[in-house]
A and B are shown apart, each in its own frame.
Chain A
C-alpha cells in the first residue's frame, strides 16, 4: 500500500534526528523522575518537564507534557479527556507515576512514556516486568504484517490473560499507537487542547489521506485499522492498569514496506528488563 503522500520517505539522517529527539525526551523524563519526591504535584512535575525540554531544544509539542500519579496512572474514570491534564495531586510514598512527553525539535517528533514508582511496590514491579511481552508482541505482529486491528486484539487478549486492563482503551480514539512525523514548514506553534497546532494539522491531513487510501494514522481496534502496517514512524504505547497501578512504555517503531524495528533499544525500560534478566540469570530465580 502506498502512502507516499502521507509520509515522505525517511532517510538515515532523518532517523538519526528522530532518535536524538526520543533520547532527549527520555533523558528529561528520567531527570524529572529522579527529582520526584513525596509532595511534588502532577502540575509541578509536568511544568518541570516542559521547562527542561525547552531548555534542551524543544521548539514545539506533539502534545504538552503529562504527569499522572497514583491510581491516575490507570486512567480509570478518565473518559473525559480534560482529566488527562495534570492535577494538583501530590506524590506519596509507594505511588506509581507516569510521565508522558512528546517534544518536537526542528520538526522531528518524539512521543515517549516513562513509568516509575516512588519506593517499593510489588504490583508495579510485576507489571513493568510483564510489559516486556507486549513490546515483543507488537513488533512480531507488525513484522508478520498482521492487520493492525488484529494486533490490537492480540494485545487485549494478552492483557486479559495477564489480568490487566488495557488502559490505552481510555486514550482519545482508544489508540494503542499513532503515527508521528517530521513536520516541515511554518505555522503558529500554539497548543490546542493539549496538542500542538502543527501536529493537529498534520494529523488531519494524514487522516484524510488515510481515509482515501484505506488506512488510519490512529491505530485502534476499529474497522479503520483493518489494514496491514503502513510505513512510517509509529509511537507504540501499550498501557496497562491493575488495582490502582498503571504502567506503560511509549517509543517509536520504524515501519518500512516489508519490515519493522524499534528506533532505539537503548531506552530505560529496555535496560531495566535486561538488568532483571541478568539478575535472574545470576541468581537462578
Chain B
C-alpha cells in the first residue's frame, strides 16, 4: 500500500502527515528529532506498514510542515498540541502507539507524563531522548552527589545545547546545514526547541509520572545522550522495558529491522499478545528467574553434561531446545526440563551430519525463534594408541567432536548475527585440549581444535555482542565412559577397560551438574575459557607453566586397567 500524504492544522501551523497501512490495525505514530524530518523514519515505516497503521509527520518548522510565528512557538506545550492534533486526525477513536526519537522522544515523554493527551496514547517507545524533567533531576542528583565525571561526560555530548543559546546560533547552523545535506529552514527553526524548553526544564524539573507501557531503546554508542542519563527512569515510569543496542544516535537508520521488531513486540504485547522472549528479557523490575526470556539450544542433551546443562538453564527460567542423536533420551530431558517449569522442545539430530544440522537450525528458527545461547556439547570418546586408530576412528571422532561444533556454531551464529541482538556460543572442549596424551590422540586433537575454534570465533564475534566460551570439564562422571571405544583391543579387553574407566570416573565422582553451573556462569560473565574440575585447572596451569613437564606426562600410559 502506498503512503498517502495530507496536511493537518494545529493552531497556526499546518503539519505534513505521511500515513499507510490498514486504519483498523493498531496505529503507530513516529515522531522524528532534530535536525531531521519524518524521512528519518522511512526504513522503519516501510517495515511496519504491512502489519500496522503507520503515521509519521514533520514537526512544526521542519520538512514540509509550516513555520510557526510568535514567541515560544516551539515550546513543549505546542509540540504536544501538534501531536494531539495528529492523533485526533489519524486515529480519532483508538489510542495510538507512540514512537519518538531524539526531540520526538522528548515530546513523547512530555505527552505521556502530562494529562493533556491522557487516554490517547497506548504505549510509548523512546529512542535517544530523555524526559527533560528526569534529566533535570538527574543533573541535580549528580551535582549533589559530586559525580562530576558523569556530568562532564554528558555535558561534553551536549555542548551544542549551550551553543544554541548564543544569539545568532540559528543563522550559523542554517548556513552550515547544506554541507551536511540538511534543510537550512528545518535546522534553523529547530534551534527554537532547545532555546524554549531545554534550559527552563533542566533547571526547574517537574514531577512527571506515567503508568503507560514505556519501552526505552538505548543506543550505547550515542554521543549525544549517555545511557547513564536514563538511570532511575523506572521511578517515573514503572511499567518499563529497557533495550540496549550497540549503535550510534540514529539507530532507526542503522538498525531498521531491529527497531521495527522492537516496536512491533511492544505494540503486539500491549494489544494483547503474550510477550516475545526478547521483550520479556527487557522487562524492568519484574520478579523473574535470572534467564527467563532466553532460548537455549543444547546438543548432546540426552545425557551427561548436555542434559545437566539443559536442566541448569531450565531451572533458571530459560526455554530449552534439546538435541540428541537418541530421540528418546532427548524427549526425556525435555520432560525433566518441563518439570522444572519451562518450555522444552526435543529434536533428534546428528551433529556430524551437515544436512541434519541445517534442517535442525531451520526448524528451531521457524518454530521457536533465534536462540540466544547455543551449547555445542555433543561428543564421543575414543581411546588407544595412535597406530591402533584406523582412519574411520579418526573420521568418527572429528565428525562429531569437531564438525558438530562447526555446524552448530556456524548455523546458529549466522542466525544470531542476522537478528542483531546479543547472543552466546558455548563449545564444550575438554582438559584434553591442552593436555597431550599418548592415550587419547584423536580425542585430544578434536578437542584442541574446538578450543582454538572457540578463541577465533570469540575474536570475530566480539563486536557483534555475541560471546564465545570454551569449557574444559575434566574427568566427569557421565555416560561418555559407557559409550567410549577403546581401539586396538579385543572385545572382552575393551569391555574390561570400559568398566575400569567407569569405576575411576565414579570414584572421582565429579558430577555433570557442576559443569552445567560453570557453563551458565561462562555465559553470564562471558568467560573465554573455563577449566572446570580441579584436574582441568591444574593441567591448564601446568600447560602454561611448563610444557616440558606436560610432554613427560603425555608419555604416561593412562589407559585404565
Contact = CB atoms under 8 A, between A and B. Distances in A.
B332 A162 contact: yes
B340 A243 contact: yes
B498 to A, nearest CB: 12
A242 B303 contact: no
A165 B335 CA distance: 16
B72 interface: no
Given A122-B339, A126-B339, A243-B340, A163 B479 contact: no
A276 interface: no
A157 B511 CA distance: 15
Contacts of A122: 339
Given A126-B339, A243-B340, A160 B311 contact: no
A126 B332 CA distance: 12
A211 interface: no
Contact of B311 (A126, A157, A162, A243): A243
Interface in A149-191: 157, 160-163, 165
Contacts of A267: none
Contacts of A157: 482
Contacts of B307: 163
A212 B339 CA distance: 48
B329 A161 contact: yes
Interface string B449-474: 00000000000000000000000000
Interface string B474-503: 000001001000000000000000000000
Nearest to B333: A163
A6 to B, nearest CB: 28
B310 to A, nearest CB: 10
B315 interface: yes
Given A243-B311, A243-B315, A160 B339 contact: no
B479 A160 contact: yes
B411 interface: no
B151 interface: no
Interface string B298-333: 000001000100010001000000000000010011
Interface string A70-110: 00000000000000000000000000000000000000000
Contacts of B303: 160-161
Nearest to B310: A163
A123 B329 contact: no
Contacts of B40: none
Interface in A243-263: 243
Interface residues of A, number: 11
A160 B315 CA distance: 19
A243 B336 CA distance: 10
Contacts of B511: 165
B329 A242 contact: no
Nearest to A124: B339
Contacts of A242: 336
Nearest to A157: B482
Interface in A24-47: none
A161 B304 CA distance: 10
A242 to B, nearest CB: 7
A123 B332 contact: no
A222 to B, nearest CB: 9
Q: Which of A123, A126, A160, A163 has the most CB of B within 10 A?
A: A163
A126 B339 CA distance: 8
Interface string B201-229: 00000000000000000000000000000
Contacts of B339: 122-123, 126, 243
A162 B311 CA distance: 13
Contact of A161 (B311, B315, B332, B340): B332
A26 to B, nearest CB: 28
B327 to A, nearest CB: 13
Contacts of B332: 161-163
Nearest to B479: A160
Nearest to A162: B332
B549 to A, nearest CB: 34
B481 to A, nearest CB: 11
Interface string B435-452: 000000000000000000
B266 to A, nearest CB: 33
Nearest to B326: A161
Nearest to A222: B503
Nearest to A245: B339
A223 to B, nearest CB: 10
A214 B303 CA distance: 36
Contacts of A243: 311, 315, 339-340
B295 to A, nearest CB: 21
A138 to B, nearest CB: 20
A205 B332 CA distance: 44
A162 B329 CA distance: 8
Contacts of A161: 303, 329, 332
Contacts of A123: 339-340
A280 to B, nearest CB: 16
A157 B499 CA distance: 13
A24 B340 CA distance: 36
Nearest to A127: B339
B504 to A, nearest CB: 14
A242 B314 CA distance: 14
Nearest to B340: A243
Contacts of A165: 511
A165 B307 CA distance: 13
Interface in B333-365: 333, 335-336, 339-340
A243 B482 CA distance: 24
Nearest to B478: A160
Interface in A202-237: none
Contacts of B311: 163, 243
Contacts of A126: 335, 339
A122 B339 CA distance: 6
A160 B505 CA distance: 14
Contacts of A163: 307, 311, 332-333, 336
A122 B307 CA distance: 19
A74 to B, nearest CB: 12
Contacts of B479: 160
A16 to B, nearest CB: 41
Interface string B509-549: 00100000000000000000000000000000000000000
A113 to B, nearest CB: 22
A157 B479 CA distance: 9
A133 to B, nearest CB: 12
A141 B300 CA distance: 30
A176 B251 CA distance: 63
A126 B336 CA distance: 9
Nearest to B336: A163
A105 to B, nearest CB: 38
11 contacts: A122-B339, A123-B339, A126-B335, A126-B339, A157-B482, A161-B303, A163-B311, A163-B333, A243-B311, A243-B315, A243-B340
Given A161-B303, A163-B332, A165-B511, 18 more contacts: A122-B339, A123-B339, A123-B340, A126-B335, A126-B339, A157-B482, A160-B303, A160-B479, A161-B329, A161-B332, A162-B332, A163-B311, A163-B333, A163-B336, A242-B336, A243-B311, A243-B339, A243-B340
Q: Sort A-B residue pairs by CB-CB distance and give the 4 closest, nearest first.
A: A163-B336, A123-B339, A122-B339, A126-B339
